[in-house]
Amino acid sequence: MARNDYDPASAPPDGRPAAKAPLFDATATPWRGSLNGEALGSPVTVLAYGNDTPGEGPRLHVHPYDETFVVTAGNARFFVGDAVIDASAGEVVFGPKGVPHRFVNLGPGRLQTIDIHHSPRWIQTDLD
């Protein structure tokens, strides 16, 4: 189905060039890396996170901007404020700005995520 969500004339190009930069070493597993959006002239920062150990994950932390998590492999349990959300490959979890969050690998096997920080720079305060 064709989409026609907006008039292209209402949002003309702003002159920024297309760009690329590495996010992670694709020969290493699990994938881990980060790319600040400012390196590409982008308003978002992207992280690749992975681990092979059930129960393991990032520590509790908070950001001054929203974060979107894309589970690309495995199963995770997200703790976002008071919410506990289980997510599997193909699902997306949203973490609002200012709300402490963390997640763990539920297993079995590898957990792999792509984490989109709605900021041109990765800004974080660890809480534990």
In a domain, 15, yes or no: no
CA distance 76 to 70: 11
pLDDT at 9: 92
The residue written with tokens 């495995």 in the block is 74
Indicate which CATH number applies to the domain containing 50. Answer: 2.60.120.10
The residue written with tokens 């930069």 in the block is 21
Full domain range(s) for residue 40: 33-123
Instruction: Give pLDDT tens digits for 90-128.
Output: 999 999 999 999 999 999 999 999 999 999 999 999 999
CA distance 45 to 117: 5
In a domain, 40, yes or no: yes
Mean pLDDT of 14-18: 90
In a domain, 11, yes or no: no
In a domain, 52, yes or no: yes
pTM: predicted TM-score of the whole model, two decimal places: 0.92
